[in-house]
Amino acid sequence: MKSAGLCWGQRYMWLRIHQLPPEHQHETHVVLRFEVPAGITVAQAKAILTHLTRRHEILRTTYRPGPEPEQHVDPPRPLPVQVVATERDGAPGPAETIEELTRRPFDLAGEWPIRACLITTGGVPKSCVLVFNHLAVDVWTLGEIKRELRTQAAGMAARRPAALSPVRHRPADLSRHEASADAAIAGARAMAYWQEEVARLPRDPFARRRAERGAPSARHATLVSPALPEAVREAAERHGVWPSLVHVAAYAAMTAVYTGGDAVGFLSFVSNRETHPFPDVMACMFSPTLVRVDCTGDPSFGELLGRVAGSFERAREHSYVPYDEVVEMVSREGSRRGGPVRLGSEVNFIKQRTKEYGGRRTAFTWNPVPESWAHCGLDTYLRIDEWRDAVALSLHAASPVMDADAVERFLRGMERLVLAAGDDPRLTDLASSASFAPAPAVLPGPAGPPEQERRAGAGREAVQALLAAVRDAHGLSRVDPSDSYTLAGGRALRIPRVLAELGGRGWQGLTLQQLAGPAPLAALAARLVPAPRTSTTRIPSNRERTS
């Protein structure tokens, strides 16, 4: 069986999946739908899907936690496909089946990262729904999969061979490259950028706004504007930048006004496909990169847009890093500063030119409470969708940093700013028009991590269990309870293994994000509580594996 370490682009998603409780991991699933052309039978559709998994190793890969997380490629075999009829025959229908396939967590170690459902009418397949584990796919990979399926289906319907490009490189090839000296040099150069930028950010960008607000844990609203596409194009042409950066500048401006900070930092997603010799590998290759925007001096929108463009270019040049090492670096920076450094805001720009709005006016909509997203531990997530005739701005915000009024004012302020970009307003003008509720006049003192407040409550048994789990997961001879997980020698990629070790010893209560932070292990142990007894077998330690 072929095996390799996780590729750099998979590491961010590995950590994200394990931060979420199993019942919320569907937050990381990706759904792809396509219409099956006429003339294709159920058997032929199944054959096309099986051929897809035979061609691409990433679709028959499982992921195992340790000692280091690895991807294992299974031999080819038929892909299981659920066939669901649109007729009411007493069996679960398409909607129910797709919901189950989408929400059920993937068994990373035992299940391929693809689930398939064929929807038939009168026994004839009409459409196919595929659900992917995000470790296996990114936007580019999904596009290639859809292109291949259409080519295969068209060829089969026409009874002629389908011409597909040969698969030149596989994930194992990329993994080997990333373990090379050349990649290490590039990664070190990029990590130096990250370290410098993180050191210049405040520990908590939302410190002036953070407050206990109770339920709901987070909010999610969407603003769809048919006026934005043209306004964005005009601003981009006027200032010579990509249209996506106009949205990012508006986001940075609103964030600066809302937080009152001199700089805005956020994570933006980059494909990384042009940064190494294997751009055609079918796998999840994207990862976040840190963008820090200087907002001092009351800049005009045009000036801020120039700063955003420069910051984004520097960030893009240094985006190709193993994200687990970023997590470890941020943890060490938190230890140096005496508290966690929050990189809690993400911005994602997606083109969806096949989608249309059809409306003439701006629509603002509240979405259901994003309970699964709330478990990610982020402060905000802005998704910018560029449709054919509109732009959709979708904002997730944790309740401690934004109430409902702030969420709505933020999105409407972004739209208003872009529409007025020709007037080149300054941040002070934006602050007046946004009319956010004032932040507290007196800044709260730097609160220590909640773990430190509960330190005295950590029983000796819990402390020893955590130290043993960290020690055994890494083969360490000694672990100091006054150190953080990272300072003790813990690696971010092994945190799922540590949590599994704890579960095997009968303890629960810690999350990946907490363990990756700067709190001392003795303080973290105060969060541990006895776990319900199950038949789960403890993962053997490194020592037990070699004895």
Could you report the per-residue pLDDT of 370-412, keeping only the tens digit for each?
999 999 999 999 999 999 999 999 999 999 999 999 999 999 9
Q: What domains does the chain contain, in order, with CATH numbers?
A: 2-171 (3.30.559.10), 180-434 (3.30.559.30), 450-546 (1.10.1200)
DSSP three-state, residue 298: coil
Phi, psi of 211, rounded to the nearest 5 degrees: -155, 155
pLDDT higher than 80, residue 444: no
How far apart (Å, rounded) are the C-alpha atoms in residues 377 and 484?
A: 19
Q: For position 1, what pLDDT does the model report?
A: 65
Amino acid at 85: A
- Band of the pLDDT at 455, cuts 50, 70, 90? very low
pLDDT higher than 70, residue 146: yes
Average pLDDT over every residue of 462-484: 97
pLDDT higher than 50, residue 451: no
Q: For position 538, what pLDDT does the model report?
A: 46
Comparing C-alpha atoms, which of 19, 379, 363, 25 is closest to residue 219?
Answer: 379
Count Cβ neighbours within 10 Å for each residue of 289-310 and write b for 16 or more, e otherwise. bbbbbbbeeebbbbbbbbbbbe
Burial class (CB in 10 A: 0-12, 13-18, 19+), 547: exposed
Q: Across-strand partners of 265?
A: 292
Could you report the per-residue pLDDT of 163-221, keeping only the tens digit for each?
999 999 999 999 999 999 999 999 999 999 999 999 999 999 999 999 988 889 999 99
CA distance readout (Å), 512 to 98, 327, 465: 29, 11, 16
Average pLDDT over every residue of 84-91: 93
How far apart (Å, rounded) are the C-alpha atoms in residues 544 and 547?
A: 5
pLDDT higher than 70, residue 453: no
How far apart (Å, rounded) are the C-alpha atoms in residues 259 and 271?
A: 29
Q: For position 354, what pLDDT does the model report?
A: 87
Phi, psi of 63, rounded to the nearest 5 degrees: -125, 125
How far apart (Å, rounded) are the C-alpha atoms in residues 246 and 248?
A: 5
How far apart (Å, rounded) are the C-alpha atoms in residues 389 and 359?
A: 9
Q: For position 536, what pLDDT does the model report?
A: 45
Could you report the per-residue pLDDT of 255-296, keeping only the tens digit for each?
999 999 999 999 999 999 998 999 999 999 999 999 999 999
Average pLDDT over every residue of 479-505: 97
- Band of the pLDDT at 458, cuts 50, 70, 90? low
For tokens 């042009």, name the residue. Answer: 274
* 341 Cβ contact partners less than 8 Å away, ≥ 6 residues apart: 198, 201, 203, 330, 333, 334
Q: For position 544, what pLDDT does the model report?
A: 42
pLDDT higher than 70, residue 91: yes
pLDDT higher than 70, residue 535: no
Burial class (CB in 10 A: 0-12, 13-18, 19+), 144: middle
Q: pTM for this one?
A: 0.92
How far apart (Å, rounded) are the C-alpha atoms in residues 280 and 272?
A: 11
Q: Is the pLDDT higher at 546 or at 285?
A: 285
Average pLDDT over every residue of 360-367: 98
Chain-wide mean pLDDT for the chain? 93
Which range (23-32, 421-430, 438-447) has the least confidence? 438-447
Average pLDDT over every residue of 525-543: 67
Average pLDDT over every residue of 111-117: 99
How far apart (Å, rounded) are the C-alpha atoms in residues 486 and 520?
A: 9
CA distance readout (Å), 439 to 205, 217, 261, 295, 448: 13, 20, 12, 18, 21
Determine what percent of the chain is predicted with pLDDT higher than 90: 89
Q: Which two tokens stand for residue 146?
A: 């859809």
Q: For position 532, what pLDDT does the model report?
A: 83
Q: Across-strand partners of 395?
A: 221, 382
Phi, psi of 437, rounded to the nearest 5 degrees: -60, 140
For tokens 């997603």, name the residue. Answer: 269
Q: Which two tokens stand for residue 16?
A: 């994200």
Q: For position 547, what pLDDT does the model report?
A: 37
Q: What is the DSSP letter of 493?
A: G
Average pLDDT over every residue of 94-113: 98
pLDDT higher than 50, residue 351: yes
Q: For position 542, what pLDDT does the model report?
A: 40
How far apart (Å, rounded) are the C-alpha atoms in residues 87 and 119?
A: 10
How far apart (Å, rounded) are the C-alpha atoms in residues 35 and 390?
A: 25
Amino acid at 201: L
Neighbours of 374 (CB within 10 A): 21
For tokens 């936007």, name the residue. Answer: 139
